[in-house]
């Protein structure tokens, strides 16, 4: 193993000291050093976005960032966004609108969605689609992901889950 | 029968509703546990040395530099594993048909047969280090000629993938009925086309992964698989271990799409190496590995002939398929085209239908089941051909379909291929679809767009599929020849508190079946789905089972659960009747109680019943204590979902770029258990097929090098490439199971590629293009337009 480099990084509000190989990817540091396995790896070409986290408040693909580049910076992962007892509105919207199936792309997709709304609070459908085109999903056909992001932005969208049955009843 | 009536006593509170999924809280918060999220004390990591050659003899393997590293524990080669009891399995041994099946070992023995073929396993203490060490393993190859084109592979003197077989032909198989030549002779018009259904990847976003942990004579293997029970059985055969010593677990699985319906070499390798080292070992597939060595799908070249009378009545359909099997037969490789052949007649009353299949070895990765597995290919053939025929006859696509649909009154309908379609209302779904198309608006927009060089077209696909795999007597060893039964099992356990655990032999991996199953059980026991836990994918805790694939888990696995639940409810009713001194037949589930018909105040909750069952002070004479039941269910027939899809596409004539402007899908999977989940399955299925039709292609060059080895070269559709989908349903119950359900996991993929292809052809027909094969990428569409103009494309 090559020599390690000390890194001081804040992750989900907590400060950590890590000693990492210079080549260590942020995603591996998060998953293996810090046990934050909600951030996933789906490819090796920075194409799929399953590893999307926020670095200093902006979405990045953590497979394309070295852990050493994060020295002195702040990272937020899906675990920091909300918990089952205290869901972030974007998480709530993905659940309500069936924006996920196997769930593997979901943490990255949610982090990308939050990043979009931070920049563009009321995006159009087209803006949403282009904002998440670096995040691949094989299950949903994106339909309900787009709806979930629309709903999280407070825009009207057709009901997806049981609310729809109640409307129809 | 409707979904509501499907539950006993009209008590459906949950079936038929779009309940939010029970699975989601862990998934949206990053708390789910996929294989790569797990670790064990003393865990080692593995990397695999793979062949860069499509076909070569292994001259030597020098692992000394790798072994010299401090962080490497072991390097294994094919020779080191001579004591493996059997090669990787192929489960199709059809009676009366010769199928050449060369041995397929987890590590190559002497010869590599495709790029990515595994040559050596490196095991070490650090994940990055084993990748470094794998690069230190020096393999000397003597290149052999590679054969890549399946038709060329059949020619005299072609290089042989497996020298000792003497031929690249793996098998020939025919399925059909009637007399296609006589039927074609009767026709006024015969249309012939070569339809190419190119090779695609399953590409779930979670790559595969394995953790094998052999200790004290027992093996626990966690694998990202759709078939943990098959995995246990085949590992027991390969490793020579008794089956009860193996526990196979599919934890959270991040999508499968057929790519994880397989027994892979890496699963056997990790188990073998863990037994050798007595240490747990993890291997996680990279995406590049996935593109190389997770089995591919499709890859069929078909010569199709469809004949019809001048009034549009189809007289015969004959299909000759050359199926590119790749280098080895994996679990279901050779039987995939056969699954399609069952429904080669589509939704049409065609008296003469025959499919002749020739399976061919090439120096490529094996093909096997990918979402739809044979049926997307068949649907694509029949649906593209019927449009070609309509064009030849000057009929409209809806008119020729209506002329030939099997009428609603005919069901159950035996078709020429010998299967009995259980249910259908094809006019109904096409009528509903046409009602949503605003043809006048379409024409107006088409004219407006044309002025800007955009050609708008519309394409239909009316499909039926065969799923709910499968009646064992039809597909088993003496039937179609699969060396297994295809039943499913379930156990429903009511705890003393009245909470319920359901164990299913299905192995869902994103389909939301925890929720759908809980809805079925909830209505039958008068409890909330919240207090029903569904456990699956673990051979150590659950009942036996056969996994999730072939749109089987609701119609076979769900039916098994419904039946086990019915047994529990029967026992509960007997207990309630005894306690309340009423007749058991007078007890019904009403709301959250088992109560006496007509006297809703006289009743017991499930928790009260469970209390009586587990503290057996006052049970009916002879009744065993406890409240749990197990069921095995083998279906009598397949189920046949169907639907009508329309795609509206825009083609930019200057660039060949295709945009899907609108997509409308009417699907019939029987009564909906959870409409929201059904819509989601349809959305994803359509997108998978749009991917194949417009973007995705696993491409090997003439030397057998994989050109599309990453997500940069292999283009999954992104959100920017698909529209919002317009979905609706008809509900024609299946008579094959008590739920009336038919499965929906593959429907979108089966229906959609033909709709998109027909739409593109419709769009550019004014430019002189009358036929095209997928993938309809910009360059191929542009070339077709230029060729039709008489120009020679660059």
| pLDDT of res. A161 | 79
Residue A42 reports pLDDT greater than 90: yes
Ordered DSSP codes for chain A: -PPPEEEEEEETTEEEEEEE-TT-BHHHIIIIIS--TTS----SSS-S-TTEEEETTEEEETTSSBGGGGTT-EEE-HHHH-BTTB--HHHHHHHHTT--SS-SSHHHHHHHHHHHHHH-SS--HHHHHHHTTTS--SSSTTHHHHHHHHHHTT------SHHHHHHH-
Overall domain count for chain B = 3
* Cα separations in angstroms, B7 against B475, B519, B524, B558, B607: 30, 10, 6, 13, 20
Q: Which of B595, B618, B633 is the last residue of a domain?
A: B633
Residue B289 resides in a domain:
no
DSSP for residue B158? P
DSSP for residue B558? I
Letter string b/e over residues B732-759, b meaning 16 or more CB atoms within 10 A of that residue's CB: bbbbbbbbbbbbbbbbbbbbbbbbbbbb
CB-based contact, A61 to chain B, within 8 Å? no
Sketch the domain layout of chain A as residue ranges: 5-81, 89-159
Nearest residue of chain A to residue B204 (CA atoms): A138
| Whether residues B502 and B608 fall in one domain | yes
Half-sphere exposure at residue B477, Cβ-oriented, CA atoms within 13 angstroms: 3
Residue B522 resides in a domain:
yes
Residue B480 resides in a domain:
no
Name the average pLDDT for chain B.
96
Domain that holds residue B503: 3-32+487-633
| pLDDT of res. B756 | 98
CB-based contact, A2 to chain B, within 8 Å? no
Tens-place pLDDT, residues B299-354: 999 999 999 999 999 999 999 999 999 999 999 999 999 999 999 999 999 999 99
Backbone angles phi, psi at B344, to 5 degrees: -65, -20
Query: Using 50, 70 and 90 to split pLDDT, how confident is the model at A156?
Result: confident
| Whether residues B497 and B536 fall in one domain | yes
> What's the CA gap between B406 and A27, in Å, rounded?
55
| pLDDT of res. A165 | 59
Q: Min CA distance, A50 vs chain B (Å)?
A: 8
- With beta carbons less than 8 A apart as the criterion, state whether B490 and B631 touch: yes
Residue B749 resides in a domain:
yes
Asked if B18 and A165 come within 8 Å (Cβ–Cβ), the reply is yes
> What's the CA gap between A95 and B254, in Å, rounded?
17
| pLDDT of res. B629 | 98
| pLDDT of res. B398 | 98
Considering the four listed CATH numbers 3.40.50.300, 3.30.2130.10, 1.25.60.10, 1.10.150.120, the one that applies to the domain covering A89-159 is 1.10.150.120
List the structure tokens of B651: 């083609």
C-alpha Rg value of chain B to the nearest Å: 27
Tens-place pLDDT, residues A84-135: 999 999 999 999 999 999 999 999 999 999 999 999 999 999 999 999 999 9
| pLDDT of res. B503 | 97
Interface of A with B in 68-107 (CB under 8 A): 77-79, 81-84, 87, 91, 94-96, 98, 100-107
Interface of A with B in 120-139 (CB under 8 A): 125, 128-130, 132-139
Which region holds residue B112: left if phi is over 0, alpha if psi is between -120 and 50, else beta?
beta
| pLDDT of res. A169 | 45
Nearest Cα residue to A43 out of A161, A152, A153, A137: A137
Question: Are A5-81 and A89-159 in the same CATH fold?
Answer: no
Bridge partners of B62, per DSSP, are B138
Backbone angles phi, psi at B329, to 5 degrees: -90, 115
Tens-place pLDDT, residues A55-73: 999 999 999 999 999 999 9
| pLDDT of res. A2 | 67
Nearest Cα residue to B320 out of B461, B100, B154, B202: B154
Query: Using 50, 70 and 90 to split pLDDT, how confident is the model at B612?
Result: very high
B179 class by beta-carbon count within 10 Å (0-12 exposed, 13-18 middle, 19+ buried): middle
* Cα separations in angstroms, B205 against A42, B138, B551, B748: 5, 32, 20, 19
What sign results for the dihedral spanned by CA atoms B576, B578, B581, B584?
A: positive
Asked if A98 and B33 come within 8 Å (Cβ–Cβ), the reply is no
> What's the CA gap between B444 and B465, in Å, rounded?
35
Q: What is the bridge-based pairing of β-strands B532-536 and B500-504?
A: parallel
Q: What is the bridge-based pairing of β-strands B628-633 and B488-494?
A: antiparallel
Residue A164 reports pLDDT greater than 60: no
Maximum CA pair distance of chain B?
Answer: 90
- State how far Cα B320 lies from the chain centre: 23
Residue B701 resides in a domain:
yes
| pLDDT of res. B9 | 44
CB-based contact, A148 to chain B, within 8 Å? no
* Cα separations in angstroms, B594 against B9, B200, B493, B581, B630: 11, 52, 17, 13, 21
| pLDDT of res. A1 | 52
CATH of the domain at B48: 3.90.1170.50
> What's the CA gap between A94 and A114, in Å, rounded?
12
Q: Which residues of B touch A78 (CB under 8 A)?
A: 28-30
> What's the CA gap between B121 and B134, in Å, rounded?
8
Q: Min CA distance, B709 vs chain A (Å)?
A: 10
> What's the CA gap between B462 and B754, in Å, rounded?
9
Asked if A133 and B718 come within 8 Å (Cβ–Cβ), the reply is yes
SS3 label, residue B305: strand
Q: Min CA distance, B29 vs chain A (Å)?
A: 6
- Mean pLDDT, rounded, for B464-471: 94
Bridge partners of B249, per DSSP, are B222, B538
| Whether residues B499 and B518 fall in one domain | yes
What sign results for the dihedral spanned by CA atoms B712, B715, B716, B722?
A: positive
Q: At what angle do helices B375-393 and B747-764 cross, to 10 degrees?
A: 30
| Whether residues B674 and B548 fall in one domain | no
- With beta carbons less than 8 A apart as the criterion, state whether B591 and B13 touch: yes
Residue B771 reports pLDDT greater than 60: yes
- With beta carbons less than 8 A apart as the criterion, state whether B395 and B373 touch: no
Q: Which of A91, A102, A106 sits opposite B253 (nearest CB)?
A: A102
Identify each DSSP E strand in B328-378 by its residue range: 352-361
Interface of A with B in 14-33 (CB under 8 A): 21, 23-24, 28, 31-32
* Cα separations in angstroms, A30 against A9, A37, A66, B40, B761: 11, 7, 11, 18, 49
Model-level pTM?
0.97
Residue B197 resides in a domain:
no
Q: Min CA distance, B749 vs chain A (Å)?
A: 11
> What's the CA gap between B680 and B659, in Å, rounded?
21
Nearest Cα residue to B434 out of B454, B409, B455, B458: B458
Nearest Cα residue to A78 out of A48, A114, A46: A114
Query: Using 50, 70 and 90 to split pLDDT, how confident is the model at A158?
Result: confident
Q: Min CA distance, B56 vs chain A (Å)?
A: 27
B295 class by beta-carbon count within 10 Å (0-12 exposed, 13-18 middle, 19+ buried): buried
Q: Domain spanning A5-81 has what CATH number?
A: 3.10.20.30
- Mean pLDDT, rounded, for B759-765: 98
Residue B73 resides in a domain:
yes
Bridge partners of B501, per DSSP, are B493, B533
Give the mutation candidate from B26, B30, B72, B285 for the A interface (greatest A CB count, under 10 A).
Answer: B30
Q: Which of B607, B633, B659 is the last residue of a domain?
A: B633
- With beta carbons less than 8 A apart as the criterion, state whether B152 and B368 touch: no
Asked if A45 and B712 come within 8 Å (Cβ–Cβ), the reply is yes
| pLDDT of res. B258 | 98
| Whether residues B239 and B305 fall in one domain | no
List the structure tokens of A40: 């996933």
Give the mutation candidate from A101, A123, A146 for the B interface (greatest B CB count, under 10 A).
Answer: A101
| Whether residues B721 and B574 fall in one domain | no
| pLDDT of res. B3 | 35
| Whether residues B663 and B609 fall in one domain | no
| Whether residues B114 and B221 fall in one domain | yes
In sequence order, the 6+-apart residues with CB closer than 8 A to the CB of A27 are: A39, A41, A51, A53, A62, A63, A65
Tens-place pLDDT, residues B678-722: 999 999 999 999 999 999 999 999 999 999 999 999 999 999 999
User: Can you tell me which residue has the tokens 């271990």?
Assistant: B241
CB-based contact, A150 to chain B, within 8 Å? no
Nearest Cα residue to B473 out of B453, B463, B487: B487
Q: Which of B633, B648, B675 is the last residue of a domain?
A: B633
Cβ of B97: how many Cβ atoms within 10 Å? Answer: 13
Residue B1 reports pLDDT greater than 70: no
SS3 label, residue B555: helix
């Amino acid at each position: 193993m090559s020599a390690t480099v000390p890194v001081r990084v804040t992750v989900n509000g907590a400060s950590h000291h890590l000693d990492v190989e210079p080549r260590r990817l942020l995603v591996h540091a998060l998953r293996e050093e810090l046990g934050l396995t909600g951030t996933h790896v789906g490819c090796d070409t920075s194409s799929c976005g399953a590893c999307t986290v926020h670095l200093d408040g902006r979405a990045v693909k953590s497979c394309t960032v070295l852990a050493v580049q994060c020295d002195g910076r702040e990272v937020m992962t899906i675990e920091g966004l909300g918990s089952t007892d205290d869901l972030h509105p974007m998480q709530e919207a993905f659940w309500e609108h069936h924006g996920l199936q196997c769930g593997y792309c979901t943490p990255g997709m949610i982090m990308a969605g939050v990043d979009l709304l931070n920049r563009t609070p009321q995006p159009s459908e087209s803006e949403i689609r282009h904002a998440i085109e670096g995040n691949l999903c094989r299950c949903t056909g994106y339909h309900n992901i787009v709806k979930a992001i629309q709903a999280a932005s407070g825009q009207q969208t057709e009901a997806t889950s049981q609310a729809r049955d109640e409307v129809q009843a | 029968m409707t979904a509501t009536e499907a539950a006993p006593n009209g008590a459906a509170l949950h079936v038929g509703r779009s309940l939010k999924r029970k699975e989601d809280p862990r998934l949206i918060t990053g708390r789910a546990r996929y294989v790569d999220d797990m670790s064990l004390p003393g865990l080692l990591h593995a990397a695999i040395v793979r062949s860069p050659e499509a076909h070569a003899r292994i001259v030597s393997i020098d692992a000394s530099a790798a072994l010299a590293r401090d962080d490497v524990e072991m390097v294994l080669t094919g020779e080191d594993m001579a004591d493996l009891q059997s090669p990787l399995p192929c489960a199709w041994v059809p009676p009366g048909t010769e199928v050449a099946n060369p041995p397929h070992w987890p590590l190559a023995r002497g010869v590599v047969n495709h790029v990515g073929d595994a040559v050596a396993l490196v095991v070490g203490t650090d994940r990055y280090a084993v990748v470094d060490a794998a690069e230190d393993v020096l393999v000397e190859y003597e290149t052999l000629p590679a054969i890549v084109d399946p038709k060329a592979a059949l020619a005299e003197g072609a290089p042989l993938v497996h020298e000792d077989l003497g031929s690249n032909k793996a098998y020939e198989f025919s399925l059909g009925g009637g007399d296609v030549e006589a039927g074609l002779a009767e026709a006024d018009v015969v249309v012939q086309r070569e339809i190419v259904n190119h090779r695609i990847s399953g590409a779930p976003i979670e790559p595969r992964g394995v953790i094998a942990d052999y200790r004290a004579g027992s093996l626990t293997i966690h694998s990202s698989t759709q078939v943990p029970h098959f995995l246990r059985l085949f590992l027991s055969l390969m490793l020579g271990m008794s089956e009860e010593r193996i526990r196979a677990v599919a934890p959270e699985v991040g999508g499968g799409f057929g790519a994880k319906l397989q027994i892979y070499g890496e699963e056997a390798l990790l188990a073998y190496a863990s037994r050798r080292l007595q240490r747990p070992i993890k291997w996680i597939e990279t995406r590049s590995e996935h593109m190389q060595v997770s089995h591919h799908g499709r890859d069929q070249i078909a010569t199709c002939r469809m004949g019809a009378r001048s009034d549009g009545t189809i007289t015969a359909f004959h299909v000759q398929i050359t199926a590119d099997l790749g280098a080895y037969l994996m679990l279901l490789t050779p039987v995939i085209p056969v699954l399609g052949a069952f429904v080669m007649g589509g939704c049409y009353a065609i008296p003469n239908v025959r499919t002749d299949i020739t399976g061919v070895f090439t120096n490529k990765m094996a093909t096997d089941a990918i979402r739809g597995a044979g049926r997307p290919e068949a649907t694509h053939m029949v649906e593209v051909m019927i449009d070609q025929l309509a064009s030849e006859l000057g009929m409209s696509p809806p008119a020729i379909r209506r002329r030939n649909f099997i009428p609603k009154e005919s069901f159950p309908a035996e078709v020429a291929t010998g299967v009995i379609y259980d249910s259908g209302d094809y006019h109904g779904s096409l009528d509903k679809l046409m009602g949503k198309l605003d043809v006048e608006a379409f024409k107006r927009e088409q004219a407006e767009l044309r002025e800007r060089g955009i050609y708008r077209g519309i394409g239909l696909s009316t499909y039926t599929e065969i799923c709910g795999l499968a009646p064992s007597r039809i597909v088993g060893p003496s039937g179609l020849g699969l060396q297994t039964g295809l039943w499913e099992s379930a156990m429903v356990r009511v705890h003393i508190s009245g909470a319920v655990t359901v164990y299913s032999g299905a192995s869902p991996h994103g389909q939301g079946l925890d929720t759908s199953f809980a809805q079925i059980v909830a209505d039958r026991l008068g409890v909330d789905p919240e207090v029903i836990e569904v456990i699956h994918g673990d051979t150590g805790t659950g009942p036996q089972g056969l996994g999730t694939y072939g749109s089987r888990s609701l119609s076979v696995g769900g039916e098994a659960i419904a039946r086990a639940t019915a047994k529990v409810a029967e026992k509960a009713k007997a207990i309630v009747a005894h306690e309340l001194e009423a007749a058991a037949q007078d007890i019904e589930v009403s709301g959250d109680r088992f109560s006496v018909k007509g006297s809703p105040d006289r009743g017991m909750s499930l928790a009260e019943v469970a209390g009586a069952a587990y503290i057996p002070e006052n049970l009916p004479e002879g009744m065993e204590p406890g409240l749990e039941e197990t069921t095995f269910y083998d279906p009598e027939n397949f189920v046949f979902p169907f639907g009508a899809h329309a795609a509206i596409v825009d083609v930019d004539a200057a660039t060949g770029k295709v945009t899907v402007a609108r997509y409308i899908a009417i699907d019939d999977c029987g009564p909906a258990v959870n409409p929201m989940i059904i819509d989601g399955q349809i959305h994803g299925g359509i997108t998978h097929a749009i991917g194949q039709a417009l973007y995705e292609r696993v491409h090997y060059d003439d030397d057998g090098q994989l050109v599309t080895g990453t997500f940069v070269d292999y283009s999954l559709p992104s959100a920017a490439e698909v529209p919002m989908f317009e979905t609706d349903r008809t509900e024609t119950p299946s008579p094959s199971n008590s739920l009336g359900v038919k499965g929906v996991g593959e429907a979108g993929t089966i229906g959609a590629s033909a709709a998109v292809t027909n739409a593109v052809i419709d769009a550019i027909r004014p430019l002189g293009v009358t036929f095209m094969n997928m993938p309809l990428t910009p360059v191929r569409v542009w070339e077709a337009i230029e060729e039709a103009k008489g120009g020679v494309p660059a």
